[in-house]
Amino acid sequence: MPCVSVVKATFFVCNFMAKTKEQKKIHLDNLAKDIKDAKSVVFASVQGLNIKDTDELRKNCREQKLSYVVSKKTLLTKALQDLKLDVDAKVFKGGVAVVCAQEDEVAPAQMLAKFAKTHVVMSLLGGLLEGKIVDTAMVMQLSALPSKQELLAQLVGSLNSPVSGFVNVLAGNLRGLVSVLNNIQKSKA
């Protein structure tokens, strides 16, 4: 039976009641679907984060269009096994946050690495990149990469550079011709 109450103390107690098998099954299905559909997934230990910091982390994930789920290690292990991924979440310490990205592969790693710098209790545990398991060091390397938008901007700049140089060379010849004509006009005047 769902817990609906106006009194904060009652909500607090109901919120932390044990989940039923139905609720666990729904959570497991949603978690497996999020991981399966994601281009990249990062696991982080959120043990010790207070409510304010957790809300800030959730807000950062929403802003970057990332899904954020905190899961029990046993349910996470089961979801990963259902996807035929050999990751044992039981080796993770503390509560495990699962951050998934459907668009930008490096966004979860960047956001969590930046957040972990200011929140010492949080640590990165590893992740998945396009269905392959990556360790913490690889997640940190991913966090150092530019975002997809930055890479696209660099590509456009690189493609535009030779054209801009060619236009400047042609314009330089015209400027030189105009300068010569101006000098001839001044010398005859």
Q: Where are the alpha helices (DSSP H) in the chain?
A: 8-15, 21-37, 51-63, 73-82, 107-118, 136-144, 148-188
pLDDT mean over 132-151: 82
Q: What's the token pair of residue 32? A: 């497996």
Domain 24-145 class?
Answer: alpha beta
pLDDT of 59 strictly over 70 = yes
Tell me the pLDDT tens digit for each residue of 63-77.
Answer: 988 999 988 888 888
- If pLDDT is split at 50, 70 and 90, which confidence band does 58 have? very high
Q: What is the pTM of this model?
A: 0.68
* Residue-wise pLDDT tens digits, 87-114: 766 677 767 889 998 888 888 998 999 9
Per-domain residue ranges of the chain: 24-145, 147-189
Residue 141 is predicted with a pLDDT of 86
**CA separation, residue 113 to residues 2, 29, 30, 63 (Å):** 36, 27, 25, 16
**Percent of the chain whose predicted confidence (pLDDT) is above 90:** 7
